[in-house]
């Protein structure tokens, strides 16, 4: 029995070697050059390099908590502190209900809440840092949506800055979108 299985294995090996002998072989250096050329020609269509807009990305998870905070209409200093306390309480309750560690998007929401404390100049820098990431000439996915950033400017700084300064910050949000188009 072992002799016949050995013969069958050898026949399969011979068939595989005959199949591979009939293939057109290419040198590794040539294959590498062809692959490099292909990648460079198609770089502008590669979503890993150019990013995917949030409106067309079906796999981007919704960040629920920051969506709620982006709906805030008015916010005082006390309200900002309460946001942080509410979120900490929410995290404590969530950690008791689930074994998921770390809690997904925790830093995302904390960073957004902390942005409510920023001054006008710090807010402009924060918007540019958290709106999108640039690598070479390619832009990657935005961190916070236009709605979230716009609401942050209107609610957070709305009563503390003049109309011209607010328009400047809102224009900074719009300017960041322009290179992507």
pLDDT, block means (10 residues), the chain with 181 residues: 81 90 86 89 80 63 54 70 83 84 80 80 80 51 73 71 80 66 43
- Which 3 state secondary structure label does DSSP give 138? strand
Residue-range definition of the domain harbouring residue 105: 64-180
**Unique residue bearing structure tokens 């290179």:** 179
Residue 139's SS3 state is strand
Would you say residue 125 lies in a domain?
A: yes
Same domain assignment for residues 83 and 154: yes
How many domains does the chain contain in total? 2
Evaluate if pTM is beyond 0.75: no
Is 52 a member of any domain? no
Residues 128 and 165 in one domain: yes
Same domain, 139 and 73: yes
C-alpha torsion 148→150→153→154, nearest 10: -110
Supply the pLDDT for residue 139.
Answer: 47
In the chain, where does DSSP find H-type helix?
2-21, 28-41, 47-50, 64-69, 77-97, 106-114, 120-131, 146-151, 163-177
Residue 49 lies in a domain: no
Whether residues 91 and 130 fall in one domain: yes
Residue 102 and residue 168 share a domain: yes
């Amino acid at each position: 029995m072992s002799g016949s299985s050995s013969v069958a294995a050898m026949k399969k090996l011979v068939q595989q070697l005959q199949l591979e002998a009939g293939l057109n072989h290419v040198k590794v250096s040539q294959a590498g050059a062809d692959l490099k050329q292909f990648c460079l020609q198609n770089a502008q269509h590669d979503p890993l390099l150019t990013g995917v807009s949030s409106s067309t990305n079906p796999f981007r998870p919704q960040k629920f908590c920051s969506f709620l905070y982006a709906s805030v209409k008015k916010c005082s200093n006390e309200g900002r502190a309460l946001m942080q306390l509410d979120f900490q309480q929410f995290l404590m309750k969530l950690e008791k209900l689930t074994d998921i560690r770390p809690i997904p998007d925790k830093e995302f929401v904390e960073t957004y809440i902390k942005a409510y404390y920023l001054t006008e100049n710090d807010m402009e820098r924060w918007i540019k840092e958290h709106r999108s990431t640039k690598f070479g000439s390619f832009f990657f996915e935005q961190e916070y949506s236009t709605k979230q950033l716009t609401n942050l400017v209107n609610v957070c700084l709305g009563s503390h800055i003049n109309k011209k300064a607010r328009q400047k910050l809102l224009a900074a949000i719009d300017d960041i979108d322009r290179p992507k188009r």
